[in-house]
Structure 1
Amino acid sequence: MKRKADKPQAAAPVSAFAARKARQQQAQSAAAAVEKPVAFEPAGEPPSKKARRSPEEATAGEQERTQPRRSTRRKDVDPVEQPAEEARRVTRSHKAPQPKAQDIAPSTEEHASSDAESEAENAAVEEANGVGFTPLQGDDDEYESPADTPVQMQDFPLSKTRLNKNNVVYSDEHRLCVRIKEKMSLVFIGHYDLWVKRGVVSLMGAKLHPSSRVYRVYAPSTHSLPVIKCVSGVDGAAEVEVKSCHSGIYRLRHLSPLYERVWNSKNTAADKLTLKNVSPSTKRTFSVLYTSADDSLKRHLRPLHLEKQWSSAIKSLSQRGGRLRALICGPKGSGKSTFSRYLLNHLLSPAPQTETSHRNTDGVAFLDLDPGQPEFSPMGQVYLAHLRSPVFGPPFSHPSLDDSRNGTIVRAHHIGANSPKEDPDHYVLAAKDLMDRYRSLLADYPQCPLIINYPGWIFGLGLEVATYLVSSLGLSDVVYMSDKGPAEVIEPLGQAASQAKVPLTILPSQPTDFVSRSSAQLRSMQMQSYFHMTHPSDMETPLWHGQPLARTQPFQVHYSGPNQDIQGIMVMGSQIHPDLLSEVLEGSIVAIVAVESSNALLGSTSTPDSTTTTPAVAVDAASDIIMADDDDHTNRPQPATTDLSSNIARTPESLPYLFAGSGSSNPFDPRKSHSLGLALVRSIDPASHTIDLATPIPSSRIQRARQHGHALVLVRGLLDNPNWAISEDYYAARSEQKRYRDSLEKLAKRNTSKAVVDAEEARRQQRVAEMLKDRVRRASTNVPWMTVIEDHRNRQADGAAGTQREKGLWKLRKQAYAGSGSEGEGDW
């Protein structure tokens, strides 16, 4: 008779915390077995050169070289693929510097394995035939890289609730209503509308009570999945309805491979249980997951859970109510954005007054000082937002707030880079101006708390800026997101907080070991989402269009002549020759900045008294647009227009080049200017003196700025190149070709009874196929760094290898000490 302990047991799913701890212990033991740690080197730093071997080791190595080696080449390599296989083997053995993660676009192998698995995902998912990205070298990101070592894909538990006929209230092809018992949870992947009908549930820090309000939730595989947990219920259970939504964000997968394999794929076992009475091909925009093994695409899915210390800190901070002024800071990758989002949602929870002494009716102010990873804005900006509703989703699901129900942007300033280290003085001035705007906001919303999200620039000069903000912004709390120090950061930060009489809370970081997108890729996704998102006036939620920007109607502005709209064009950074301005500007991302005063340039000696004929013309042009629907505009006084002509030089194309400074251009004073948003310069026409812009900025916002007499200036910063915009037409052509092929295959299956296809119909299909193929070929010529591969067998064979790099996982390596180079980082 076997004892109970001797019985073989199935491997149970392990939590994310246990798996991360086990991997860390395994990595530490492996490192200790390979080499002895050097006393004077920081942990994790590789030696500067190879260690000298002992005579015994040298002899053993010589014997090893004389022994015949066993071939590791795959035996099933096709002769046609042998040159490519040899090239890959040579590349792997080459000792060149490893390319950095934020500059590596999805590799050819990643596309192959990705699309091979996503054939069953949706009919419109593109096939992986023909694109290879050339990785860029020499970036300074030392914190994330492709996962070279194989990662064990473990079965992580996601939902504690198992669906059955007892807890499924009703279901159809669009909706699913379930009962969740107290302390039980349910996880969905995809995007959906959530309606709490009975009981109280928690979601991403918010406690949602029964009401008629419907919340839009975005749960992509690129981030940890939000967990719906029952806090309290009626008869011990809460009742929620989850409904499919069609915002159009899934259309972005036709424009970029970064959006592939992001949402739900095939129906899971739980989905099939609740879709018994409908067509087998029916699929909702969400899927229920019990464990990560339920995912048909086998992605690296994890639930979004919080440390207990995080939860207690959020509850403690929320007790301050309207008096809360919290600065969240810490190293890169420590969870600052996640903690800020949870705290924000917790403060915005529509909880009854009996549950807490504070009932939030004035919203929450969110001061985002992280231009590299903003929450409600595109890259390169710092801003003050006023939120009135919880937000459930990653940043690329809400890249802007345009007077929506969720909130609005009170004021924004264009930094022009992903890092404030480019101009710390201008960064501090912008932060102080936004804090002044918050104090003005308190006049209308006196019980509005404030959350300040500080970037991971916490070492060196960044620490000095942080301590200055702690001592000058009038805070109530400072939260540092790393219990491992270092001491050279904790001590000055604690001293500044003590002098300002502000408590300092130190919390453990909660990083993610592996992610499916690098920082640069997430920035591209957020920027692409920003330019494709619209806010219809008759809808509460945004929509996304799937048309390439090159095929949309441009926003045309005049930069010279009698109808001049743009008063100046500025290039941040080094001074350039005026003859090169058009080349620098065309195809770049620019900010549309509204300049409120003639002496807005920092260090400029220009005065409001300087005159020119240009402002008067601009006033007339503005008044024609603004007062078009005003019946009594004849007696309206014309606003004074800002004059910037003293610092403008005309280029050969008559572009108004705005430059003031020595070596680099002086930025605008944040107290006398603000950013309206970003635009993509599509083309410049010197003949008509016009610039075609692609921008999601509402025309009403631009008209409002011109009505106040503000000068509009295009500012070209140091943001990432919009490679995603240049390649959109190519991916759209591939997607169209893929959809047409799929339609022909479906038609052929339905017409199996016909032995002969009509000749005329066959010729028509051939013409359409050739036309689509030619469109793909012509679109590929516009993207020089993409290589069209005609023989797809190499990529398919590579994707079958199944390494973690080919599966698209990125390994995060966080270093929190002063000598790690964090001060020079552009990604936080």
Structure 2
Amino acid sequence: MSKRTSDSKVKAPLSALAARRLRQQQLAAQAEPSNPTPNGDSPSITPGAEAAPVLHSKDISGPSTPLKSRSPSAIPPKETIDSAGDTDIDIPRQVSNFVQTEENHGYDTQTLETTVKLRRGETFVIQGEYRVSVISGNISIYGAILETSASIDVIAPSTQALPVIECAPKSKKRKVEKPARKDGEYDAIFSLHSTQSGLNDVGRICPRFDRIWKPPLTSTVVKSKAADSFTPILTAIQPTPVLTIPPSWQPTITTLSSTKQSPKSIFIIGGKSVGKSTFGRYLLNTLLTNSQQSAVAYLDLDPGQPSFTPPCILSLHKITSPVVAPSFATFGSTEVVRQHHVGYISPREDPKYYLRCAADLVREYRRLVEQGEKLTLIVNTCGWIKGMGRELLQELIAVCEPTDVVGLGEVDGVFAEILPEGKGVKRHLLEAAGTGNAVGNIPGSQQFTPADLRILQTIAYFHQRSKVSGDSNGSSSPSFDFEKHLTAIPPLIAVYKGAAKVIHGITILDTGIAPDLIFTGLNATIVSVKMVKKDDREHPAIRYLEDVYGENNDVTPPYIPANQFDGTSGLLPAEGTVTAGLAIVRGVDEGNGELQLLTPMHEDEINGYLEDGYRILLCRGRDEMPVYLMWDWRDGRAGQKGRRGTGSGGGVDKMPYLDFVDGGEVTGKGAKEWKVRRNIMRRGQQRR
């Protein structure tokens, strides 16, 4: 019998789950570490204009953190288990079938461009940000067909399925002679160039999204320079969703993108997570690159997961270039013709206002058509197709009068109920995405919920770089700045009392609170910036202000109780109200009668409205305020450590609404002041 020596150790047997976690830790240790909080001073704040505009920037000392949250923690990647329950983390999955050689892949040290040569049938998947330019042949990506000399900017993080680059037939949009192929054995040659929108730094603001630009734990990648903003992926150990569409989609997309019966009005319906936005984006890109249309109108009626705006907004866009980017990365890439802030992520809260806003946007589209613009209209709807949602769809069909209706998933019954008979509407029933591997829906690969993506979309909106009104540099590429936290950026100052006031009304949807509590309900919330013509005496909000306050410019505040109107449509009718954008009420200076606003809108843009005779009304709905917009988590974490170690408190004691979980103990000012009342109970539990 052997004897155990003093330095020997007995290892306990590992379960399959423990072994898998150990393997993940080993793989993660080999990956590049991530640090969402780089050291070093931030760049200086760009000063505002020296002249005193109606709205101006102002430095405010000290961060404002009026929200309740918990300390952020690193979120480990989800483990992958197959349907039988066995671990398959060590099995590489094929992402691209491209095989790199010295002949089909090269890098130019002078132009800093990567050149790739593809044969028909080969696929090339890239994660990151890049510009792809076609040198010869044709390629397709996310429905867009690019010919020789064409280029497109791509933004492809891991939040969505990664687009695939592959050879494509010649498009029908431009009739050009087929050039003689220089490389006879390759069907397409294209170059890749790094681009920077600023989104790669989003983890500095919200650590939840720090790793969306990091490639998965891979076994093989295409070799590229370390400075590149993208990574071509061949095989991956972690699940890596790749964008492929169901077979039934392509014939329908080809039919809808034909020039016959143009312009069309295409209405897309389906339940949740069936691929409505994916189908709409794929169709949009096909129309712009494989037909005779130079522009497409896109009507987004999904306030919960909009494609080109922050949540809670319905919008009409005129789009002239293909869009290959997730929703949070599209700001600035389209022309916003008109938009309405409905204040909720679902139409169920105020269906009448939702329908009136949709009808107003359709009228705006028809005005464009009457002016001679041949614009195919794509209408994207929300995933509410039962009960009242079905009734809303029927109303929207009557308003939009589509030529084609596309149904994704099990919508046979919906079609039978909402589509009018004898109107000549063409019906297209297609399978839903997500069945099998339709849009890269690999089990265990999706880390983010729709709520997560709404937070990301809101964060990106408020960190987009402002564009000066009238700037016509022709650039439609999105641009973002995450170098500074919002609390370190000078806010716009808007006066709400006195002769110089620019804020003429403040309201909170679906409620009526006492006027002296209005700023309690408004501070540290997201509001829409509504514009109303000052001479529009029939506008309900203007009429109310004049009836109640008259010419009294010293009113503090100019409050409009929403509960005195017949819903939002009675307070802010869609026909006479313009939604300029969103803002955050950073703080209130009641002594000077000023509101401090954080908004991506440039002050010149807002002042332009004022010069055109508009008045500003601020309207708060139920837009979700991400805690990271009002709290610099890096300072908060540093303060937390100081409290435990030195008792200095740091940033924690300066945060009136926040509490923190610190070693099992809830700390922070929010923890001390937060009280819970348990006097809400069911009717049957109440004593009579």
Q: TM-score, normalised by structure 2?
A: 0.76
Shift of 1:252: 1.2
Residue pair 2:269, 2:276 contacting (<8 A) in 1 also: yes
Shift of 1:268: 6.5
Instruction: Give the distance between the partners of 1:780 and 1:579, measured in 2 at CA.
Output: 25
| 1:365 paired to 2:297 | yes
From 32, 39, 46, the equivalent of 1:120 is: 32
What residue in structure 1 maps to residue 428 of structure 2?
505
Give the residue type in structure 1 aligned to 2:450: S
Instruction: Give the distance between the partners of 1:780 and 1:132, measured in 2 at CA.
Output: 15
From 302, 308, 316, the equivalent of 2:241 is: 302
Residue pair 1:158, 1:291 contacting (<8 A) in 2 also: yes
Instruction: Give the distance between the partners of 1:114 and 1:645, measured in 2 at CA.
Output: 69
Give the residue type in structure 2 aligned to 1:260: D
Give the residue type in structure 1 aligned to 2:465: T
1:107-128 superposed Cα distances (whole Å, 9 cap, x missing partner): xx9xx9899669714555689x
Distance 1:491 1:286, change over 3 A: same
From 400, 404, 417, the equivalent of 1:492 is: 417
What residue in structure 1 maps to residue 101 of structure 2?
164
Give the residue type in structure 2 aligned to 1:534: R
Instruction: Give the distance between the partners of 1:231 and 1:733, measured in 2 at CA.
Output: 51
What residue in structure 2 maps to residue 248 of structure 1?
198
Alignment of 1:182-261 (within 5 A): 182-211=120-149, 213-232=150-169, 234=181, 235=184, 236-261=186-211
Residue pair 2:510, 2:562 contacting (<8 A) in 1 also: no
After TM superposition, the structure 1 stretch with the greater mean CA deviation from structure 2, 334-343 or 773-782, is 773-782
Shift of 1:702: 1.6
Distance 1:114 1:660, change over 3 A: farther
From 646, 664, 675, the equivalent of 2:547 is: 646
Give the residue type in structure 1 aligned to 2:463: H
Shift of 1:601: 5.0
Partner secondary structure for residue 544 of structure 1: coil
Shift of 1:652: 11
Shift of 1:248: 1.4
From 511, 520, 523, the equivalent of 1:586 is: 523
- Structure 1 gaps, min length 5: 1-73, 78-108, 135-144, 276-281, 352-357, 608-642, 739-766, 792-828
After TM superposition, the structure 1 stretch with the greater mean CA deviation from structure 2, 340-349 or 165-174, is 165-174
Distance 1:588 1:600, change over 3 A: farther
| 1:319 paired to 2:258 | yes
Give the residue type in structure 1 aligned to 2:157: P
Residue pair 1:256, 1:731 contacting (<8 A) in 2 also: no
| 1:656 paired to 2:587 | no
Residue pair 1:568, 1:648 contacting (<8 A) in 2 also: no
Give the residue type in structure 2 aligned to 1:492: E
Alignment of 1:698-713 (within 5 A): 698-713=602-617
**Identical-pair percentage:** 26
From 671, 688, 693, the equivalent of 2:592 is: 688
Residue pair 2:311, 2:623 contacting (<8 A) in 1 also: yes
Residue pair 2:317, 2:335 contacting (<8 A) in 1 also: yes
Distance 1:390 1:182, change over 3 A: same
Shift of 1:688: 0.6
Residue pair 1:573, 1:718 contacting (<8 A) in 2 also: no
Shift of 1:776: 6.4
What residue in structure 1 maps to residue 280 of structure 2?
340
What residue in structure 2 maps to residue 262 of structure 1?
212
Distance 1:647 1:433, change over 3 A: farther
Residue pair 2:130, 2:195 contacting (<8 A) in 1 also: yes
Shift of 1:498: 2.7
Shift of 1:648: 5.8
Instruction: Give the distance between the partners of 1:523 and 1:461, measured in 2 at CA.
Output: 24
Partner secondary structure for residue 432 of structure 1: helix
Residue pair 1:163, 1:270 contacting (<8 A) in 2 also: no
After TM superposition, the structure 1 stretch with the greater mean CA deviation from structure 2, 313-322 or 779-788, is 779-788
Partner secondary structure for residue 421 of structure 2: helix
Distance 1:237 1:780, change over 3 A: farther
Shift of 1:544: 1.6
Give the residue type in structure 1 aligned to 2:559: Y
Give the residue type in structure 2 aligned to 1:254: R
Distance 1:133 1:527, change over 3 A: same
What residue in structure 1 maps to residue 368 of structure 2?
441
Give the residue type in structure 1 aligned to 2:477: T
Instruction: Give the distance between the partners of 1:725 and 1:502, measured in 2 at CA.
Output: 45
Shift of 1:216: 1.4
Residue pair 1:254, 1:732 contacting (<8 A) in 2 also: no
From 450, 455, 463, the equivalent of 1:524 is: 455
Shift of 1:777: 4.6
1:194-239 superposed Cα distances (whole Å, 9 cap, x missing partner): 111111100001101112x532111111110000011149434211
What residue in structure 1 maps to residue 478 of structure 2?
542
Instruction: Give the distance between the partners of 2:352 and 2:556, measured in 1 at CA.
Output: 32
Shift of 1:783: 6.3
Give the residue type in structure 1 aligned to 2:307: E
Distance 1:412 1:273, change over 3 A: closer
Instruction: Give the distance between the partners of 1:307 and 1:408, measured in 2 at CA.
Output: 30
Alignment of 1:549-568 (within 5 A): 549-568=486-505
Distance 1:699 1:675, change over 3 A: same
Residue pair 2:98, 2:123 contacting (<8 A) in 1 also: yes
Instruction: Give the distance between the partners of 1:723 and 1:113, measured in 2 at CA.
Output: 30
| 1:784 paired to 2:658 | yes
Distance 1:735 1:204, change over 3 A: farther
1:767-822 superposed Cα distances (whole Å, 9 cap, x missing partner): 9xx99x9796548846624424499xxxxxxxxxxxxxxxxxxxxxxxxxxxxxxx
What residue in structure 2 maps to residue 292 of structure 1?
236
Partner secondary structure for residue 182 of structure 1: coil
Shift of 1:710: 1.7
Alignment of 1:616-765 (within 5 A): 644-646=545-547, 654-659=556-561, 661-662=563-564, 666-727=570-631, 729-731=632-634
What residue in structure 2 maps to residue 428 of structure 1?
355
Give the residue type in structure 2 aligned to 1:252: V
What residue in structure 2 maps to residue 376 of structure 1?
308
Give the residue type in structure 2 aligned to 1:471: A
Residue pair 2:128, 2:230 contacting (<8 A) in 1 also: yes
Higher-Rg member (1/2): 1
Instruction: Give the distance between the partners of 1:737 and 1:171, measured in 2 at CA.
Output: 48
Q: How many residues align?
A: 575
Give the residue type in structure 1 aligned to 2:658: P
1:484-503 superposed Cα distances (whole Å, 9 cap, x missing partner): 3463x23203xx24343211
Shift of 1:707: 2.4
What residue in structure 1 maps to residue 683 of structure 2?
none
Distance 1:775 1:651, change over 3 A: farther
Instruction: Give the distance between the partners of 2:363 and 2:26, measured in 1 at CA.
Output: 48
Residue pair 1:365, 1:438 contacting (<8 A) in 2 also: yes
Distance 1:256 1:302, change over 3 A: same
Instruction: Give the distance between the partners of 1:647 and 1:476, measured in 2 at CA.
Output: 48
Distance 1:429 1:131, change over 3 A: closer
- RMSD over aligned Cα atoms: 3.7
Distance 1:265 1:317, change over 3 A: closer
Instruction: Give the distance between the partners of 2:548 and 2:88, measured in 1 at CA.
Output: 60
